[in-house]
């Protein structure tokens, strides 16, 4: 109902000004309201089980906001600058580059299937407890989007066509920071990944994967002990572990203290959140600092028992894998490429 009223309202305005040749503005054609996507095979959660499910209206608004560079101080950076759809919303560089070419110290993680998490931990160190809380951070981060919330709101309020979509999504046209965050978070919640060859095999299709992938599966859930931490439908426990990544053996310290920054507990030094492994082929280079180039190098890192340091997770130990077994683990991870996250930036935005 509301969808037509927004289109008609804008059309009526356009008629007054110039005559309305197209019933729907260009930006609405580029980003129509769509039903919420169905979770793909392998994702057994539903939106209905969330405390507050996304709505199609908020997801549409959030999709514009996520890709809109006008949220940044100089109009050059959007969320998608670092969270690229073609990389499953991660990025192909070790660390992010934000406004004025400034480099961060951590890699932009993917966020597929994040509507449902075992524990509400966002960021590599878990310092945000909700996607909403998370979404406002980068806008104000001086090396990411370099803006202030007030300036961001002024910019959005200066775009006449945005207000009707805030009304459509939230009931009144007010443009506020919590609403911006909620809409973006709802868009993020619809980015899923499943129906991979691995899911189809687990669902009973014996021909969906090779024998090598099946061997990798046995190892992942057996001898290689990967599922101690990479577990559940998104292959993560959403908790923090120290694998020794980023340990400087000469200086005897971590370049990035990780979870310790949040908890101040000694044992959390160098511990980072377990990343989900769906679409992992698209996250290279790997780890919080992008220090490992290939999945094969990641497996070798585990095979060697991580990097020795005073806080290494007791769950990490040398694995004695053969070359063939290491290749099989890589093949298993490659079989986690699925569908449900794919998107392209809208070709037009409210003006
Ligand atoms: C300049 C690059 C950059 C921009 C722009 C950016 N991000 Fe990020 N994002 C990152 C980095 C780097 C991290 C990891 C930071 C950390 O762990 O401390 C991150 C983390 C996240 C996470 C956490 C994922 C998880 O698994 O914990 C989400 C969600 C996210 N960003 C969403 C957004 C949204 C929404 C926007 C736009 C409002 C945005 N990002 C803009 C680089 C960026
Ligand atoms: C003790 C918990 C734990 C175990 C066991 C474990 N992982 Fe991880 N995994 C992590 C954590 C934590 C990270 C991120 C570490 C960092 O960035 O410092 C990670 C990162 C990864 C990454 C990089 C993903 C990305 O997007 O950058 C891959 C791939 C991976 N693990 C695969 C495996 C495989 C294969 C095994 C079994 C051989 C395994 N893991 C065992 C906790 C674990």
Check if the beta carbon of residue 78 is closer than 8 Å to that of residue 63. Answer: no
pLDDT at position 10 is 52
Query: Which ligand sits nearest to residue 281's alpha carbon?
Result: 2
Q: Which two tokens stand for residue 175?
A: 């443009």
Pocket of ligand 2 contains residue 226 by CB under 6 Å: yes
Check if the beta carbon of residue 219 is closer than 8 Å to that of residue 325. Answer: yes
| Euclidean distance between CA atoms 301 and 324, whole angstroms | 16
Pocket of ligand 2 contains residue 284 by CB under 6 Å: no
Q: How far is the CA of 90 from the centre of ligand 2 (A)?
A: 16
Q: How far is the CA of 322 from the centre of ligand 1 (A)?
A: 37
Nearest residue (by CA) to ligand 2, atom 1, is 315
> Could you tell me which of 325, 250, 246 has the C-alpha nearest to residue 292?
246
pLDDT at position 134 is 86
Model confidence pLDDT, tens digit, residues 293-318: 999 999 999 999 999 999 999 999 99
Classify residue 60 as left (phi > 0), alpha (psi -120 to 50) or beta: alpha
Query: Which ligand sits nearest to residue 177's alpha carbon?
Result: 1
Q: How far is the CA of 190 from the centre of ligand 1 (A)?
A: 16
Pocket of ligand 1 contains residue 180 by CB under 6 Å: no
Nearest residue (by CA) to ligand 2, atom 9, is 274
Check if the beta carbon of residue 153 is closer than 8 Å to that of residue 177. Answer: yes
Q: Which two tokens stand for residue 314?
A: 């007791």
| Euclidean distance between CA atoms 31 and 8, whole angstroms | 16
Nearest residue (by CA) to ligand 1, atom 13, is 108
Nearest residue (by CA) to ligand 2, atom 34, is 226
Pocket of ligand 2 contains residue 229 by CB under 6 Å: yes
| Euclidean distance between CA atoms 291 and 286, whole angstroms | 6
Nearest residue (by CA) to ligand 1, atom 16, is 123
Query: Which ligand sits nearest to residue 129's alpha carbon?
Result: 1
pLDDT at position 278 is 98
Q: How far is the CA of 275 from the centre of ligand 2 (A)?
A: 7
Residue ranges of the chain with per-residue pLDDT less than 70: 1-22
Query: Which ligand sits nearest to residue 222's alpha carbon?
Result: 2
pLDDT at position 174 is 97
pLDDT at position 13 is 53
Q: Among 61, 66, 133, 144, which residue has the most ligand 1 atoms within 8 Å of its CB, making it the best to mutate?
A: 144
Q: What is the dihedral of CA 301, 296, 116, 57, to 10 degrees?
A: 130
Model confidence pLDDT, tens digit, residues 81-102: 999 999 999 999 999 999 999 9
């Amino acid at each position: 109902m509301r969808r037509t009223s927004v289109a008609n309202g804008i059309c009526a305005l356009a008629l007054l000004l110039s005559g309305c040749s197209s019933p729907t503005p260009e930006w609405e054609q580029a980003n129509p309201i769509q039903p919420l996507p169905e979770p793909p095979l392998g994702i057994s959660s539903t939106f209905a089980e969330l405390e507050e499910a996304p709505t199609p209206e908020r997801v549409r608004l959030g999709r514009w906001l996520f890709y809109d560079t006008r949220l940044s101080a100089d109009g050059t950076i959007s969320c998608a600058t670092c969270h690229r759809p073609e990389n499953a919303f991660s990025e192909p560089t070790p660390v992010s580059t934000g406004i004025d070419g400034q480099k961060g110290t951590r890699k932009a993680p993917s966020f597929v299937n994040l509507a449902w998490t075992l524990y509400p931990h966002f960021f590599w160190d878990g310092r945000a407890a909700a996607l909403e809380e998370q979404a406002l951070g980068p806008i104000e981060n001086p090396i990411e989007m370099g803006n202030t919330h007030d300036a961001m709101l002024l910019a959005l309020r200066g775009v006449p066509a945005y207000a009707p979509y805030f009304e459509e999504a939230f009931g009144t046209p007010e443009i506020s920071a919590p609403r911006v965050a909620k809409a973006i978070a709802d868009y993020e919640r619809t980015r899923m990944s499943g129906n991979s060859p691995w899911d189809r095999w687990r669902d009973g299709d014996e021909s969906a994967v090779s024998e090598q992938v099946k061997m990798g599966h046995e190892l992942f859930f057996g001898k290689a002990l990967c599922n101690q931490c990479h577990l559940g439908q998104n292959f993560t426990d959403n908790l923090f572990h120290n694998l020794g990544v980023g340990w400087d053996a000469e200086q005897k310290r971590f370049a990035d203290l990780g979870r310790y920054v949040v908890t101040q507990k000694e044992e959390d030094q160098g511990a980072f959140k377990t990343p989900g492994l769906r679409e992992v082929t698209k996250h290279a280079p790997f780890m919080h600092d992008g220090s490992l180039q290939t999945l094969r190098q990641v497996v070798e890192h585990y095979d060697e028992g991580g990097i020795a340091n005073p806080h290494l997770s007791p769950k990490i130990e040398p694995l004695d894998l053969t070359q063939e077994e290491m290749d099989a683990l890589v093949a298993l991870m490659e079989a986690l490429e699925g569908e449900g996250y794919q998107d392209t930036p809208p070709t037009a935005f409210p003006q």
